[in-house]
């Protein structure tokens, strides 16, 4: 298998988290998120939660009998918001090292006190929302904790920081258990609902070091936790088995350091930059955007003079919601609508993880975007069920953040085109090329597409599709995809070429394509399609996107921008993901009757 310096100690990008198993209660349970915004305004008089980029529910294993260690924290910063997973930034990297040190690299699950990030630090004014048994937030959190115990043989619970320590104590007490030493020593907590083998420890939050806390005290808390785990292991050697491929030596002094987040904990196609062992993004524009910086960039672009063309205002055209949905959360009414990924075979092909089928050195071919950003967002749709296969030129930077191909303005227009031909699910879109080439001329992009190894890669991918014998014809959108398809072995399949949506005359070529398609025989998702495209756009469906993607994040046109340098050239290092203006200006929804009743007891 090929290796890459940006994959170091993380596995391979073809390993990924598909999201909750759809035959379990996880997706439903997580979708029952309380109204954090209005609860905060009602109880505290202001919005204490960073709601714009949504909740992050977990990181780790969700299948039954796969979790031995549960880590509870309050870790939700901008990296977590981009990944839709907990603990992937600096604190997550420190906890990953802790897990590795105690011999656990797979059988863990991270969860939070609040599924939304908070402004500032955990404080007393949050106590009722965070710890009162009548708080809807506490009840939802307890449902999550209880379901973890129900589905797993949990041996160790690690509480990270005071919010988490109090949350674990509240949970134990909600079942009639006791914590005689309070949060100062959670290892003395007991309860009949806990298996005798389930131990609890607490550590100081690593993020405290950046907020005036003592790094030495934090290190000491981790060493103390390791010492407790060592004693439990000595008392019962089978208590916490090492994960496969792991070793442990708890006689060593604990080194307070970081480890990268494994790809298997993250959605397929996510930029490699996320989870490499530290923070890789920063908030901008009064919470409206998050700026991602490459391995060559800097936090808050310190020292680098860059600018963005605009704040991607966007519009609500094509946006749709189901009952209970809000734009800043994943779907509520259709909580099972998310893409579990392309499957192992296609994942290996898409990421270049098969011997002889590696992506070339794109930097050597003239690509300027930094190589640490990766090349994951190459597909969207259902490879194994595709009646229609689509090759399309890159049209925006939204794909970098959604981890799927063509999710910006062009993709939303393509979605309306597909609907006009009666297709809502039986498609797969392949992006040409899998790296950002938006700053290059068409001639340069064609020269990269013509590279023998690039042709070999797309040929292998196309061969895989043809072998499934479901694809009836191929559509191309854009100059480069139309150029590349002529170099591939397409068998007897018809090829229908159209312009990219941003090209002059695109709408006319799209309508001509529909007239051709109308005469073809193929399985449709809509019985009597119109075969008329009027230039509109539709929201990218949630079932095309990884678990955790928010409703606004593949709607409202292009949601991302690439920075420009002071010399007018495009920056290789900085990109911004931007909330549409209409969603940013939304007020919170009213509380449900149940939430209203609960909040009446707030002191």
Q: Residue ranges of the domains in the chain? A: 26-265, 316-570
Q: What is the pLDDT of residue 211?
A: 59
**Which of helix, strand or coil describes residue 133?**
coil
pLDDT at 213: 66
Nearest residue to 498 via CA among 507, 488, 487, 485: 507
Q: Do 316-570 and 26-265 have the same topology in CATH?
A: yes
Under-70 pLDDT residues of the chain: 1-3, 209-213
How would you classify the pairing of strands 473-477 and 388-393? parallel
pLDDT of 50-70, one tens digit each?
A: 999 999 999 999 999 999 999
Alpha carbon distance 163, 142 (integer Å) = 14
pLDDT tens for each residue of 405-463: 999 999 999 999 999 999 999 999 999 999 999 999 999 999 999 999 999 999 999 99
Q: Are 100 and 11 in contact (CB under 8 A)?
A: no
Contact 74, 162 (CB under 8 A): no
A 10 A CB-CB count for 269 gives 29
DSSP state, 481? H
CATH architecture of 26-265: 3-Layer(aba) Sandwich (3.40)
* Tokens at 356, concatenated: 């002889």
Helices (H), 263-397: 344-351
What order of strands is seen across the sheet that includes strand 560-565?
281-284, 289-293, 570-578, 560-565, 306-307
CA distance 14 to 12: 5
Query: How confident is the model at residue 214, as a pLDDT?
Result: 85
- If we measure between CA atoms, which residue out of 166, 156, 171 comes closest to residue 226? 156
Q: What residues pair up with 483 in beta bridges, in sequence order?
A: none
Do residues 308 and 301 make contact, with C-beta atoms less than 8 angstroms apart? no
C-alpha dihedral (167, 172, 174, 178), degrees to nearest 10: -120
Strand 560-565 to strand 306-307: parallel, antiparallel, or no bridges (unpaired)?
A: antiparallel
The predicted-structure confidence for 333-377, as pLDDT tens digits, reads as follows: 999 999 999 999 999 999 999 999 999 999 999 999 999 999 979
Which CATH architecture fits 316-570? 3-Layer(aba) Sandwich (3.40)
The number of beta carbons lying within 10 Å of the beta carbon of residue 118 is 20
What does the pLDDT read at residue 5? 85
Task: Give the 3-state secondary structure of residue 311.
Answer: coil
> What does the alpha-carbon distance between residue 602 and residue 597 come to, in Å, rounded to a whole number?
10
CB within 8 Å of 298: residues ≥ 6 apart: 304
Tokens of 326: 């809000």
Tokens 């060493």 sit at which residue?
Answer: 223
């Amino acid at each position: 298998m090929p290796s890459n310096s940006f994959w170091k100690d993380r596995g391979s990008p073809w390993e990924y988290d598909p999201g909750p198993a759809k035959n379990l209660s996880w997706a439903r349970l997580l979708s029952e998120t309380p109204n954090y915004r209005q609860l905060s305004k009602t109880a505290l008089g202001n919005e204490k939660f960073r709601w714009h980029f949504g909740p992050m529910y977990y990181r780790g294993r969700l299948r039954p009998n796969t979790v031995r260690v549960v880590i509870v924290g309050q870790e939700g910063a901008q990296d977590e918001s981009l990944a839709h997973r907990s603990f992937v930034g600096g604190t997550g990297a420190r906890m990953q090292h802790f897990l590795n040190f105690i011999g656990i690299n797979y059988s863990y699950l991270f969860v939070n006190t609040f599924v939304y990030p908070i402004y500032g630090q955990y404080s007393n004014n949050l106590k009722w929302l965070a710890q009162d048994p009548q708080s809807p937030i506490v009840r939802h959190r307890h449902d999550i904790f209880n379901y973890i115990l129900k589905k797993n043989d949990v041996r160790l619970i690690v509480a990270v920081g005071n919010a988490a320590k109090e949350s674990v104590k509240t949970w134990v007490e909600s079942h009639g258990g006791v914590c005689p030493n309070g949060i100062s020593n959670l290892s003395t907590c007991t309860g009949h609902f806990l298996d005798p083998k389930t131990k609890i420890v607490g550590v100081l939050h690593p993020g405290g070091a950046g907020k005036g806390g003592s790094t030495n005290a934090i290190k000491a808390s981790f060493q103390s936790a390791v010492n407790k785990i060592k004693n439990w292991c000595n008392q019962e050697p089978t208590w916490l088995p090492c994960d496969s491929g792991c070793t442990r030596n708890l006689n060593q002094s604990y080194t307070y350091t970081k480890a990268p987040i494994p790809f298997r904990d993250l959605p397929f196609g996510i930029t490699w930059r996320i989870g490499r062992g530290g923070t890789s993004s920063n908030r901008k524009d009064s919470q409206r955007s998050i700026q991602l910086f490459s391995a060559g960039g800097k936090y808050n672009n310190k020292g680098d003079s860059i600018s963005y063309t605009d704040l991607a205002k966007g519009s609500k055209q094509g946006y749709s919601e189901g009952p209970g949905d809000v734009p800043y959360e994943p779907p509520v009414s259709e909580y099972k609508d998310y893409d579990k990924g392309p499957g192992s075979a296609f994942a290996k092909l898409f990421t270049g993880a098969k011997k002889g089928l590696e992506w070339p050195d794109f930097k050597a071919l003239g690509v300027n975007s930094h190589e640490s950003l990766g090349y994951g967002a190459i597909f969207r749709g259902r490879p194994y069920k595709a009646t229609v296969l689509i090759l399309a030129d890159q049209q925006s930077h939204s794909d970098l953040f959604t981890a799927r191909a063509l999710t910006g303005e062009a993709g939303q227009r393509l979605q309306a085109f597909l609907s006009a031909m009666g297709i809502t699910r039986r498609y797969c879109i392949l992006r040409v090329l899998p790296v950002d080439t938006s700053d290059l001329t068409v001639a340069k992009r064609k020269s990269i597409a013509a590279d023998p190894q690039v042709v070999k890669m797309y040929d292998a991918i196309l061969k895989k599709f043809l072998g499934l014998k479901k694809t009836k014809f191929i559509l191309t959108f854009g100059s480069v995809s139309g150029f590349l398809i002529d170099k591939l072995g397409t068998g007897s399949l018809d090829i229908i070429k159209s312009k990219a949506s941003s090209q002059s005359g695109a709408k006319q070529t799209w309508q001509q394509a529909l007239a051709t398609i109308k005469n073809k025989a193929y399985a449709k998702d809509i019985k009597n399609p119109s075969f008329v495209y009027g230039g509109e756009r539709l929201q990218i469906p949630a079932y095309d996107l990884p678990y955790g993607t928010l409703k606004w994040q593949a709607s409202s046109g292009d949601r991302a921008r690439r920075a420009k340098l002071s010399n007018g050239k495009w920056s290789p290092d900085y990109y911004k993901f931007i909330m549409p203006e209409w969603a940013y200006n939304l007020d919170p929804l009213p509380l449900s009757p149940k939430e209203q009743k609960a909040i009446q007891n707030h002191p």
